Chain A
Amino acid sequence: MSLLGEDIVTEDGEFVINIGPQHPSTHGVLHLKVWLDGETIKRIQPHLGYIHRSIEKMSESLSYRNFIYATSRMDYLSAHINNQACALCVEKGLQVEVPERAKAIRILMAELTRLSSHQLWWGCTGLDLGAVTPFFYAFRERESIMAIMEETCGARLTQNYCVPGGVMYDIHPNFRNRVKDTLKQIRSKFNEYEEILTGNVIFEQRTKGVGYISAEDAISFGCTGPTARGSGVSCDVRKLFPYDGYEKLQFKEILEQGGDCYARYMVRMAEMKQSVFIIEQLIDNIPEGEFQAKTKMVLKLPKGEFYQRVETARGELGVYIVSDGAASPYRIKYRSPNFSNLSALERMATGTKIGDLVAIMSTIDLVIPDVDR
Protein backbone atom coordinates (compact mmCIF):
# COMPACT_ATOMS: atom_id res chain seq x y z
CA MET A 1 0.00 0.00 0.00
CA SER A 2 1.68 3.14 -1.09
CA LEU A 3 1.29 6.33 0.79
CA LEU A 4 0.63 8.88 -1.88
CA GLY A 5 -0.24 6.75 -4.88
CA GLU A 6 -3.61 5.82 -3.44
CA ASP A 7 -6.92 7.32 -4.45
CA ILE A 8 -8.05 10.22 -2.32
CA VAL A 9 -11.55 8.77 -2.17
CA THR A 10 -11.83 5.07 -1.32
CA GLU A 11 -14.42 2.66 -2.72
CA ASP A 12 -16.61 3.14 0.35
CA GLY A 13 -16.71 6.87 -0.25
CA GLU A 14 -14.26 7.61 2.50
CA PHE A 15 -11.99 10.58 2.09
CA VAL A 16 -8.31 10.08 2.87
CA ILE A 17 -6.25 12.99 4.14
CA ASN A 18 -2.73 13.31 5.48
CA ILE A 19 -2.16 15.32 8.65
CA GLY A 20 1.48 16.13 9.00
CA PRO A 21 4.42 15.53 8.91
CA GLN A 22 4.51 19.32 8.88
CA HIS A 23 1.53 20.42 10.89
CA PRO A 24 1.50 22.79 13.85
CA SER A 25 -0.72 20.59 15.99
CA THR A 26 1.27 17.38 15.63
CA HIS A 27 4.14 18.79 17.76
CA GLY A 28 6.82 17.33 15.61
CA VAL A 29 7.13 15.25 12.51
CA LEU A 30 4.20 12.91 13.04
CA HIS A 31 2.35 11.84 9.95
CA LEU A 32 -1.25 10.71 10.42
CA LYS A 33 -3.23 9.24 7.58
CA VAL A 34 -6.90 9.74 8.35
CA TRP A 35 -9.90 8.11 6.67
CA LEU A 36 -12.91 10.39 6.92
CA ASP A 37 -16.61 9.92 6.38
CA GLY A 38 -17.72 13.49 6.08
CA GLU A 39 -16.19 14.96 9.20
CA THR A 40 -16.19 11.74 11.20
CA ILE A 41 -12.96 9.83 11.62
CA LYS A 42 -13.21 6.21 10.49
CA ARG A 43 -9.61 5.12 10.80
CA ILE A 44 -6.22 6.55 11.67
CA GLN A 45 -2.84 5.25 10.66
CA PRO A 46 0.28 6.89 12.09
CA HIS A 47 3.32 6.80 9.82
CA LEU A 48 6.53 6.84 11.80
CA GLY A 49 10.19 7.12 11.05
CA TYR A 50 10.61 10.74 10.01
CA ILE A 51 12.91 11.47 12.96
CA HIS A 52 14.47 8.08 13.52
CA ARG A 53 18.08 8.51 14.62
CA SER A 54 18.87 4.95 15.60
CA ILE A 55 19.76 5.82 19.17
CA GLU A 56 19.49 2.19 20.29
CA LYS A 57 21.90 0.92 17.64
CA MET A 58 24.24 3.87 18.19
CA SER A 59 24.44 3.07 21.90
CA GLU A 60 25.85 -0.37 21.16
CA SER A 61 29.12 1.17 20.05
CA LEU A 62 29.39 3.59 22.99
CA SER A 63 30.67 2.91 26.48
CA TYR A 64 28.35 2.70 29.49
CA ARG A 65 29.32 6.24 30.47
CA ASN A 66 28.81 7.72 27.05
CA PHE A 67 25.55 6.28 25.82
CA ILE A 68 23.51 8.23 28.37
CA TYR A 69 23.83 11.60 26.62
CA ALA A 70 21.89 10.35 23.60
CA THR A 71 18.78 9.59 25.67
CA SER A 72 18.34 13.32 26.29
CA ARG A 73 17.36 13.51 22.64
CA MET A 74 14.57 10.96 22.95
CA ASP A 75 11.93 12.58 25.10
CA TYR A 76 13.63 15.94 25.22
CA LEU A 77 11.06 17.42 27.58
CA SER A 78 11.94 14.92 30.30
CA ALA A 79 15.60 14.60 29.36
CA HIS A 80 16.81 14.34 32.93
CA ILE A 81 14.47 11.46 33.74
CA ASN A 82 15.67 9.54 30.67
CA ASN A 83 19.26 10.01 31.80
CA GLN A 84 18.27 8.88 35.27
CA ALA A 85 16.72 5.69 33.90
CA CYS A 86 19.92 4.77 32.05
CA ALA A 87 22.12 5.62 35.02
CA LEU A 88 19.91 3.50 37.29
CA CYS A 89 20.06 0.55 34.91
CA VAL A 90 23.85 0.70 34.68
CA GLU A 91 24.06 1.01 38.47
CA LYS A 92 21.87 -2.05 38.81
CA GLY A 93 24.36 -4.00 36.72
CA LEU A 94 27.39 -2.64 38.52
CA GLN A 95 25.69 -2.97 41.94
CA VAL A 96 26.92 0.46 42.97
CA GLU A 97 25.40 2.08 46.04
CA VAL A 98 24.37 5.62 45.09
CA PRO A 99 24.91 8.21 47.87
CA GLU A 100 21.80 9.64 49.50
CA ARG A 101 22.70 13.15 48.40
CA ALA A 102 22.87 12.11 44.75
CA LYS A 103 19.49 10.40 45.04
CA ALA A 104 17.89 13.52 46.51
CA ILE A 105 19.39 15.74 43.81
CA ARG A 106 18.17 13.36 41.12
CA ILE A 107 14.62 13.39 42.45
CA LEU A 108 14.62 17.17 42.76
CA MET A 109 15.78 17.55 39.19
CA ALA A 110 13.36 14.91 37.95
CA GLU A 111 10.39 16.63 39.57
CA LEU A 112 11.50 20.01 38.23
CA THR A 113 11.69 18.42 34.80
CA ARG A 114 8.21 16.97 35.20
CA LEU A 115 6.91 20.36 36.26
CA SER A 116 8.47 22.12 33.29
CA SER A 117 7.24 19.44 30.92
CA HIS A 118 3.67 19.67 32.18
CA GLN A 119 3.79 23.44 31.95
CA LEU A 120 4.85 23.27 28.33
CA TRP A 121 2.09 20.74 27.71
CA TRP A 122 -0.46 23.05 29.37
CA GLY A 123 0.57 25.94 27.14
CA CYS A 124 0.51 23.81 24.00
CA THR A 125 -2.89 22.35 24.82
CA GLY A 126 -4.28 25.82 25.05
CA LEU A 127 -2.59 26.71 21.79
CA ASP A 128 -3.98 23.65 20.02
CA LEU A 129 -7.49 24.41 21.18
CA GLY A 130 -7.32 27.98 19.99
CA ALA A 131 -6.22 29.88 23.10
CA VAL A 132 -2.89 31.57 22.45
CA THR A 133 -2.45 33.32 25.80
CA PRO A 134 -1.84 30.23 28.02
CA PHE A 135 1.20 29.40 25.93
CA PHE A 136 2.96 32.55 27.07
CA TYR A 137 1.87 32.20 30.68
CA ALA A 138 3.17 28.64 30.79
CA PHE A 139 6.50 29.60 29.29
CA ARG A 140 6.90 32.36 31.86
CA GLU A 141 7.03 29.86 34.75
CA ARG A 142 8.90 27.30 32.72
CA GLU A 143 11.65 29.82 32.12
CA SER A 144 12.48 29.99 35.84
CA ILE A 145 12.81 26.21 35.95
CA MET A 146 15.03 26.33 32.88
CA ALA A 147 17.22 28.86 34.72
CA ILE A 148 17.63 26.38 37.60
CA MET A 149 18.65 23.69 35.14
CA GLU A 150 21.07 26.00 33.38
CA GLU A 151 22.72 27.10 36.60
CA THR A 152 23.24 23.64 38.07
CA CYS A 153 23.44 21.31 35.07
CA GLY A 154 24.88 23.70 32.51
CA ALA A 155 22.19 23.19 29.88
CA ARG A 156 18.52 23.98 29.60
CA LEU A 157 17.11 20.90 27.91
CA THR A 158 19.75 18.27 27.21
CA GLN A 159 21.37 18.29 30.62
CA ASN A 160 23.30 14.99 30.74
CA TYR A 161 23.50 15.52 34.51
CA CYS A 162 23.13 11.90 35.63
CA VAL A 163 26.17 9.67 35.48
CA PRO A 164 26.42 6.07 36.68
CA GLY A 165 27.02 6.39 40.42
CA GLY A 166 25.38 9.73 41.06
CA VAL A 167 25.26 13.12 39.41
CA MET A 168 27.93 14.88 37.38
CA TYR A 169 28.70 17.67 39.82
CA ASP A 170 27.29 19.05 43.04
CA ILE A 171 24.37 21.47 43.08
CA HIS A 172 25.13 25.13 42.62
CA PRO A 173 25.37 27.12 45.90
CA ASN A 174 22.50 29.25 44.64
CA PHE A 175 20.29 26.23 43.91
CA ARG A 176 18.17 26.22 47.10
CA ASN A 177 17.21 29.88 46.92
CA ARG A 178 16.43 29.72 43.25
CA VAL A 179 14.21 26.67 43.65
CA LYS A 180 12.35 28.26 46.55
CA ASP A 181 11.74 31.45 44.58
CA THR A 182 10.50 29.41 41.62
CA LEU A 183 8.15 27.32 43.76
CA LYS A 184 6.72 30.47 45.30
CA GLN A 185 6.13 31.91 41.85
CA ILE A 186 4.60 28.70 40.48
CA ARG A 187 2.29 28.14 43.45
CA SER A 188 0.86 31.62 43.08
CA LYS A 189 0.18 31.00 39.38
CA PHE A 190 -1.81 27.77 39.71
CA ASN A 191 -4.98 29.79 40.26
CA GLU A 192 -4.31 31.67 37.05
CA TYR A 193 -4.07 28.38 35.16
CA GLU A 194 -7.44 27.32 36.52
CA GLU A 195 -9.04 30.66 35.75
CA ILE A 196 -7.86 31.06 32.22
CA LEU A 197 -8.28 27.54 30.85
CA THR A 198 -9.82 24.95 33.19
CA GLY A 199 -13.08 26.76 33.81
CA ASN A 200 -13.35 28.17 30.32
CA VAL A 201 -16.59 27.13 28.62
CA ILE A 202 -15.05 26.67 25.17
CA PHE A 203 -12.30 24.51 26.59
CA GLU A 204 -14.75 22.39 28.59
CA GLN A 205 -16.96 21.78 25.58
CA ARG A 206 -14.02 20.77 23.42
CA THR A 207 -12.57 18.31 25.94
CA LYS A 208 -15.41 16.85 28.03
CA GLY A 209 -16.54 13.52 26.61
CA VAL A 210 -14.03 13.72 23.76
CA GLY A 211 -11.47 11.00 23.09
CA TYR A 212 -12.83 8.45 25.50
CA ILE A 213 -10.78 5.36 26.25
CA SER A 214 -11.80 2.75 28.78
CA ALA A 215 -9.49 1.39 31.46
CA GLU A 216 -9.40 -2.02 29.75
CA ASP A 217 -8.40 -0.49 26.44
CA ALA A 218 -5.79 1.69 28.10
CA ILE A 219 -4.22 -1.41 29.64
CA SER A 220 -4.37 -3.47 26.47
CA PHE A 221 -2.75 -0.71 24.39
CA GLY A 222 -0.02 -0.37 27.02
CA CYS A 223 -0.83 3.23 27.88
CA THR A 224 1.06 4.61 30.84
CA GLY A 225 1.42 7.91 32.59
CA PRO A 226 -1.30 10.54 32.72
CA THR A 227 -2.92 9.05 29.61
CA ALA A 228 -3.73 5.82 31.47
CA ARG A 229 -4.34 7.49 34.83
CA GLY A 230 -7.03 9.60 33.20
CA SER A 231 -8.91 6.33 32.65
CA GLY A 232 -8.42 5.21 36.25
CA VAL A 233 -5.52 2.83 35.67
CA SER A 234 -3.06 2.93 38.53
CA CYS A 235 0.37 2.85 36.88
CA ASP A 236 2.66 5.35 38.61
CA VAL A 237 6.09 3.71 38.64
CA ARG A 238 7.15 6.04 41.44
CA LYS A 239 4.54 4.39 43.67
CA LEU A 240 4.53 0.84 42.36
CA PHE A 241 8.25 0.28 41.77
CA PRO A 242 9.97 3.06 43.73
CA TYR A 243 13.48 4.04 42.70
CA ASP A 244 16.02 6.57 44.01
CA GLY A 245 14.19 6.99 47.30
CA TYR A 246 10.68 7.84 46.11
CA GLU A 247 9.39 5.39 48.74
CA LYS A 248 10.39 7.82 51.50
CA LEU A 249 8.37 10.70 50.07
CA GLN A 250 4.76 11.63 50.57
CA PHE A 251 2.78 12.13 47.40
CA LYS A 252 -0.46 11.01 45.85
CA GLU A 253 -0.99 9.08 42.66
CA ILE A 254 -3.55 11.10 40.73
CA LEU A 255 -6.38 9.06 39.24
CA GLU A 256 -9.37 10.30 37.26
CA GLN A 257 -12.20 8.05 36.15
CA GLY A 258 -13.42 10.06 33.15
CA GLY A 259 -11.21 8.57 30.45
CA ASP A 260 -11.74 11.59 28.22
CA CYS A 261 -9.54 14.56 27.31
CA TYR A 262 -10.76 16.54 30.30
CA ALA A 263 -9.79 13.74 32.72
CA ARG A 264 -6.29 13.54 31.26
CA TYR A 265 -6.05 17.31 31.53
CA MET A 266 -7.07 17.24 35.20
CA VAL A 267 -4.54 14.47 35.97
CA ARG A 268 -1.69 16.57 34.67
CA MET A 269 -2.90 19.70 36.44
CA ALA A 270 -2.99 17.80 39.75
CA GLU A 271 0.38 16.17 39.07
CA MET A 272 2.00 19.58 38.84
CA LYS A 273 0.85 20.29 42.38
CA GLN A 274 2.17 16.92 43.56
CA SER A 275 5.55 17.69 41.99
CA VAL A 276 5.67 20.98 43.85
CA PHE A 277 4.78 19.06 47.02
CA ILE A 278 7.63 16.57 46.48
CA ILE A 279 10.17 19.32 45.85
CA GLU A 280 9.03 21.14 49.00
CA GLN A 281 9.70 18.03 51.08
CA LEU A 282 13.20 17.59 49.73
CA ILE A 283 14.58 21.05 49.18
CA ASP A 284 15.45 21.71 52.84
CA ASN A 285 16.45 18.11 53.53
CA ILE A 286 19.13 17.38 50.94
CA PRO A 287 21.46 15.01 52.84
CA GLU A 288 25.12 15.95 53.19
CA GLY A 289 27.80 13.76 51.72
CA GLU A 290 29.16 12.69 48.38
CA PHE A 291 27.31 13.51 45.19
CA GLN A 292 28.88 10.64 43.26
CA ALA A 293 29.91 7.14 44.19
CA LYS A 294 33.40 5.98 43.31
CA THR A 295 33.30 4.01 40.06
CA LYS A 296 36.00 2.55 37.87
CA MET A 297 37.33 4.46 34.90
CA VAL A 298 36.02 1.87 32.42
CA LEU A 299 32.65 0.45 33.39
CA LYS A 300 31.98 -3.18 32.58
CA LEU A 301 28.64 -4.76 33.34
CA PRO A 302 28.58 -8.47 34.17
CA LYS A 303 27.08 -10.82 31.62
CA GLY A 304 23.31 -10.74 31.82
CA GLU A 305 20.18 -8.68 31.30
CA PHE A 306 19.16 -5.60 33.26
CA TYR A 307 15.89 -3.72 33.23
CA GLN A 308 14.93 -0.50 34.94
CA ARG A 309 11.73 1.48 34.67
CA VAL A 310 11.08 5.07 35.66
CA GLU A 311 8.14 7.42 35.44
CA THR A 312 8.80 10.20 32.96
CA ALA A 313 6.42 13.08 32.44
CA ARG A 314 4.60 10.99 29.82
CA GLY A 315 4.58 7.54 31.32
CA GLU A 316 6.74 4.56 31.93
CA LEU A 317 10.18 4.49 30.34
CA GLY A 318 11.93 1.13 30.45
CA VAL A 319 15.62 0.65 29.76
CA TYR A 320 16.66 -2.88 28.90
CA ILE A 321 20.36 -3.62 28.65
CA VAL A 322 21.82 -6.92 27.50
CA SER A 323 25.46 -7.21 28.42
CA ASP A 324 28.02 -9.72 27.22
CA GLY A 325 30.60 -8.51 29.70
CA ALA A 326 32.28 -6.01 27.37
CA ALA A 327 32.76 -2.28 27.91
CA SER A 328 29.79 -1.39 25.72
CA PRO A 329 26.27 -2.85 25.75
CA TYR A 330 25.44 -5.81 23.52
CA ARG A 331 21.90 -4.56 22.97
CA ILE A 332 19.83 -1.70 24.34
CA LYS A 333 16.09 -1.42 24.09
CA TYR A 334 14.03 1.51 25.26
CA ARG A 335 10.38 0.99 26.06
CA SER A 336 9.19 4.48 25.38
CA PRO A 337 5.88 5.76 26.77
CA ASN A 338 4.94 7.79 23.72
CA PHE A 339 5.01 4.88 21.31
CA SER A 340 2.43 2.95 23.34
CA ASN A 341 0.33 6.02 23.97
CA LEU A 342 0.28 6.81 20.25
CA SER A 343 -1.05 3.32 19.52
CA ALA A 344 -4.16 4.16 21.55
CA LEU A 345 -4.84 7.23 19.40
CA GLU A 346 -6.94 5.31 16.88
CA ARG A 347 -9.20 3.89 19.61
CA MET A 348 -9.66 7.33 21.13
CA ALA A 349 -10.32 9.20 17.92
CA THR A 350 -12.41 6.76 15.87
CA GLY A 351 -15.93 8.08 15.64
CA THR A 352 -15.09 11.62 16.73
CA LYS A 353 -14.94 14.66 14.50
CA ILE A 354 -11.73 15.73 12.78
CA GLY A 355 -11.53 18.87 14.90
CA ASP A 356 -11.41 16.78 18.06
CA LEU A 357 -8.35 14.90 16.82
CA VAL A 358 -6.22 17.91 17.73
CA ALA A 359 -7.63 17.95 21.25
CA ILE A 360 -7.01 14.21 21.67
CA MET A 361 -3.47 14.44 20.38
CA SER A 362 -2.58 17.32 22.65
CA THR A 363 -3.92 15.57 25.75
CA ILE A 364 -1.92 12.41 24.99
CA ASP A 365 1.05 14.81 25.06
CA LEU A 366 3.13 13.21 22.34
CA VAL A 367 6.81 13.88 21.86
CA ILE A 368 7.65 12.45 18.46
CA PRO A 369 11.44 11.97 18.86
CA ASP A 370 10.57 9.54 21.66
CA VAL A 371 8.25 7.57 19.36
CA ASP A 372 10.90 7.11 16.71
CA ARG A 373 14.12 7.24 18.75
Chain B
Amino acid sequence: MFLKEYFGSIYRSARSLLKGMKLTGYYFTHPKEIQTEEYPDNRATLTMFDRFKGEVTMPHNENNEHRCTGCQACEIACPNGTIKIITKQELQPDGKKKKAIDTFVYHLELCTMCNMCVLACPSDAIVMGQSFEHSVYDKRQLKKVLNQPGSKIMEGVE
Protein backbone atom coordinates (compact mmCIF):
# COMPACT_ATOMS: atom_id res chain seq x y z
CA MET B 1 0.00 0.00 0.00
CA PHE B 2 2.82 2.36 0.92
CA LEU B 3 4.71 1.53 -2.25
CA LYS B 4 1.60 2.11 -4.32
CA GLU B 5 1.16 5.59 -2.87
CA TYR B 6 4.84 6.32 -3.26
CA PHE B 7 4.98 5.44 -6.92
CA GLY B 8 1.58 7.05 -7.49
CA SER B 9 2.88 10.38 -6.19
CA ILE B 10 5.95 10.11 -8.41
CA TYR B 11 3.70 9.48 -11.39
CA ARG B 12 1.44 12.44 -10.58
CA SER B 13 4.39 14.76 -10.03
CA ALA B 14 6.07 13.78 -13.26
CA ARG B 15 2.78 14.20 -15.08
CA SER B 16 2.25 17.73 -13.75
CA LEU B 17 5.76 18.71 -14.81
CA LEU B 18 5.35 17.20 -18.26
CA LYS B 19 2.04 19.01 -18.68
CA GLY B 20 3.81 22.33 -18.19
CA MET B 21 6.68 21.25 -20.44
CA LYS B 22 4.18 20.37 -23.16
CA LEU B 23 2.90 23.93 -23.15
CA THR B 24 6.33 25.50 -23.35
CA GLY B 25 7.20 22.98 -26.03
CA TYR B 26 4.17 24.06 -28.02
CA TYR B 27 5.26 27.70 -28.05
CA PHE B 28 8.83 26.68 -28.79
CA THR B 29 7.72 24.90 -31.96
CA HIS B 30 5.17 27.56 -32.99
CA PRO B 31 7.15 30.76 -33.48
CA LYS B 32 4.15 32.38 -35.23
CA GLU B 33 2.45 32.81 -31.85
CA ILE B 34 5.17 35.17 -30.66
CA GLN B 35 3.75 38.64 -30.10
CA THR B 36 6.81 40.69 -29.24
CA GLU B 37 7.68 43.84 -31.15
CA GLU B 38 11.34 44.29 -31.93
CA TYR B 39 11.45 47.90 -30.93
CA PRO B 40 14.58 49.63 -32.15
CA ASP B 41 14.37 47.77 -35.44
CA ASN B 42 10.74 48.65 -36.13
CA ARG B 43 11.17 52.38 -35.63
CA ALA B 44 10.29 53.20 -39.22
CA THR B 45 6.89 51.52 -39.03
CA LEU B 46 6.11 52.13 -35.37
CA THR B 47 3.10 54.39 -34.85
CA MET B 48 1.80 55.36 -31.44
CA PHE B 49 -1.89 55.72 -30.64
CA ASP B 50 -3.20 59.19 -31.43
CA ARG B 51 -4.10 59.84 -27.79
CA PHE B 52 -0.69 58.79 -26.49
CA LYS B 53 0.73 61.41 -24.15
CA GLY B 54 4.40 61.78 -25.01
CA GLU B 55 5.16 65.47 -24.56
CA VAL B 56 3.45 68.84 -24.73
CA THR B 57 3.69 70.45 -28.16
CA MET B 58 2.44 73.69 -29.65
CA PRO B 59 1.30 73.26 -33.26
CA HIS B 60 2.19 76.02 -35.69
CA ASN B 61 0.57 76.52 -39.09
CA GLU B 62 2.42 77.12 -42.37
CA ASN B 63 2.65 80.90 -41.71
CA ASN B 64 4.49 80.22 -38.43
CA GLU B 65 1.45 81.12 -36.35
CA HIS B 66 0.28 79.54 -33.11
CA ARG B 67 -2.90 79.87 -31.05
CA CYS B 68 -1.40 80.80 -27.66
CA THR B 69 -2.69 84.06 -26.18
CA GLY B 70 -0.46 83.96 -23.12
CA CYS B 71 -3.34 83.63 -20.65
CA GLN B 72 -1.24 81.33 -18.40
CA ALA B 73 -4.15 78.98 -17.67
CA CYS B 74 -1.86 76.00 -18.36
CA GLU B 75 0.78 77.37 -16.03
CA ILE B 76 -1.78 77.52 -13.20
CA ALA B 77 -3.22 74.09 -14.04
CA CYS B 78 0.14 72.32 -14.03
CA PRO B 79 0.76 70.48 -10.76
CA ASN B 80 4.55 70.36 -11.15
CA GLY B 81 5.52 73.81 -12.36
CA THR B 82 6.43 72.40 -15.76
CA ILE B 83 5.30 75.41 -17.80
CA LYS B 84 6.61 78.96 -17.51
CA ILE B 85 5.18 81.62 -19.81
CA ILE B 86 6.99 84.90 -20.26
CA THR B 87 4.72 87.54 -21.78
CA LYS B 88 5.39 90.87 -23.46
CA GLN B 89 3.33 93.87 -24.57
CA GLU B 90 3.07 93.95 -28.35
CA LEU B 91 2.17 97.06 -30.29
CA GLN B 92 -0.87 96.55 -32.50
CA PRO B 93 -1.25 98.28 -35.92
CA ASP B 94 -3.93 100.53 -34.44
CA GLY B 95 -1.53 101.78 -31.77
CA LYS B 96 -2.95 99.73 -28.88
CA LYS B 97 -0.83 97.45 -26.79
CA LYS B 98 -1.76 93.78 -26.44
CA LYS B 99 -0.45 90.95 -24.28
CA ALA B 100 1.40 88.25 -26.22
CA ILE B 101 3.79 85.45 -25.40
CA ASP B 102 7.50 86.02 -25.60
CA THR B 103 8.68 82.52 -24.68
CA PHE B 104 6.71 79.44 -23.73
CA VAL B 105 9.16 77.45 -21.60
CA TYR B 106 8.38 73.77 -21.13
CA HIS B 107 10.41 71.66 -18.70
CA LEU B 108 10.07 68.14 -20.02
CA GLU B 109 12.10 66.77 -17.13
CA LEU B 110 9.37 67.84 -14.68
CA CYS B 111 6.39 66.77 -16.78
CA THR B 112 4.27 63.80 -15.71
CA MET B 113 2.04 63.80 -18.84
CA CYS B 114 -1.12 64.28 -16.78
CA ASN B 115 -2.84 66.26 -19.56
CA MET B 116 -4.16 68.94 -17.19
CA CYS B 117 -2.60 71.81 -19.18
CA VAL B 118 -4.20 70.65 -22.43
CA LEU B 119 -7.61 70.50 -20.74
CA ALA B 120 -7.13 73.93 -19.19
CA CYS B 121 -6.16 75.70 -22.42
CA PRO B 122 -9.12 77.82 -23.62
CA SER B 123 -7.77 78.33 -27.14
CA ASP B 124 -6.45 74.81 -27.89
CA ALA B 125 -2.94 76.13 -28.35
CA ILE B 126 -1.15 73.09 -26.88
CA VAL B 127 -1.68 69.39 -27.60
CA MET B 128 0.00 66.19 -26.51
CA GLY B 129 2.58 64.90 -28.98
CA GLN B 130 3.32 61.25 -29.64
CA SER B 131 7.11 61.36 -29.46
CA PHE B 132 8.44 59.24 -26.63
CA GLU B 133 12.18 59.01 -27.17
CA HIS B 134 13.26 61.72 -24.77
CA SER B 135 16.61 60.37 -23.57
CA VAL B 136 19.43 62.88 -23.70
CA TYR B 137 22.86 63.04 -22.11
CA ASP B 138 22.45 66.55 -20.72
CA LYS B 139 19.34 67.49 -18.79
CA ARG B 140 19.50 71.08 -19.99
CA GLN B 141 18.38 69.82 -23.38
CA LEU B 142 15.05 68.86 -21.81
CA LYS B 143 14.15 72.51 -21.23
CA LYS B 144 12.27 73.43 -24.37
CA VAL B 145 10.83 76.60 -25.86
CA LEU B 146 7.61 75.63 -27.59
CA ASN B 147 6.90 78.75 -29.65
CA GLN B 148 9.06 78.85 -32.75
CA PRO B 149 11.35 81.84 -33.33
CA GLY B 150 9.52 84.72 -34.98
CA SER B 151 6.12 83.10 -34.58
CA LYS B 152 2.97 85.14 -34.09
CA ILE B 153 -0.50 84.54 -32.79
CA MET B 154 -3.05 83.31 -35.30
CA GLU B 155 -5.64 85.88 -36.46
CA GLY B 156 -8.98 85.65 -34.73
CA VAL B 157 -7.74 83.86 -31.60
CA GLU B 158 -8.69 85.81 -28.49
Contact = CB atoms under 8 A, between A and B. Distances in A.
Interface of A: 62, 65-67, 69-70, 133, 140, 143, 147, 150-155, 158, 160, 168-169, 172, 192, 195-197, 199-202, 204
B51 A66 contact: no
Contact of A158 (B20, B23, B35, B112): B112
Nearest to A73: B112
Contacts of B16: 199-201, 204
Interface in B2-37: 12-13, 16-17, 19-20, 22-24, 35
B112 A69 contact: yes
Nearest to A131: B20
A160 B113 CA distance: 9
A154 B77 CA distance: 19
Chain A binding surface SS class:
helix
A195 B115 contact: no
Interface string B49-82: 1011100000000000000000000000111000
B86 interface: no
Contact of B119 (A153, A168, A192, A199): A168
Given A66-B116, A168-B115, A199-B16, A192 B23 contact: yes
Contacts of B108: none
B110 interface: no
B114 interface: yes
Contacts, number: 68
Given A70-B79, A201-B13, A143 B35 contact: yes
A89 B147 CA distance: 38
A366 B16 CA distance: 29
Contacts of A152: 51
B13 A153 contact: no
B83 interface: no
Nearest to A149: B49
Nearest to A155: B53
30 contacts: A62-B79, A65-B77, A66-B116, A69-B79, A69-B112, A69-B114, A143-B35, A147-B49, A150-B48, A151-B51, A152-B51, A153-B51, A154-B49, A154-B51, A154-B52, A154-B115, A160-B113, A160-B114, A169-B51, A172-B49, A195-B19, A195-B22, A196-B19, A196-B20, A196-B23, A199-B16, A200-B16, A200-B17, A200-B20, A201-B12
Nearest to B13: A201
A152 B115 CA distance: 13
A182 to B, nearest CB: 12
A67 B53 contact: no
A60 to B, nearest CB: 12
B17 A201 contact: yes
B128 interface: yes
